[in-house]
């Protein structure tokens, strides 16, 4: 393992668990791991299928709707 990778892993270990998992997923994707990273529940899979269908039909949120949703999380 290179020194740079060791340093990166030390930094990631200090992050909260959910951020560690996100970093691990990115590294696995970069390394070419084709295994599923997350398993969807049947409900999540149905939601994803419906969301893709909405996009295909052009049913997208307006700029104002996106801004209103994002403004809840901005400080």
pLDDT in the model for residue 37: 66
pLDDT in the model for residue 36: 66
**Burial of 45: CB neighbours in 10 Å, binned 0-12, 13-18, 19+:** exposed
Distance of alpha carbon 67 from alpha carbon 65, whole angstroms: 5
CA of residue 69 relative to chain centroid, distance: 18
pTM for this predicted structure: 0.45
One digit per residue, the tens of pLDDT, for the chain of length 75 reads 999 999 999 999 999 998 998 899 889 888 887 766 677 889 999 999 999 999 999 999 999 999 999 998 887
Residue that the structure tokens 């939601």 belong to:
47
């Amino acid at each position: 393992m290179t020194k740079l990778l060791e340093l990166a892993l030390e930094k990631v270990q200090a992050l909260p668990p959910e951020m560690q998992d996100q970093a691990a997923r990115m590294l696995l994707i970069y390394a070419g791991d084709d295994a599923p990273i997350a398993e969807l529940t049947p409900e999540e899979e149905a939601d994803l299928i419906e969301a893709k269908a909405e996009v295909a039909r052009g049913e997208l949120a307006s700029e104002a709707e996106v801004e209103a949703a994002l403004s809840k999380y901005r400080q």
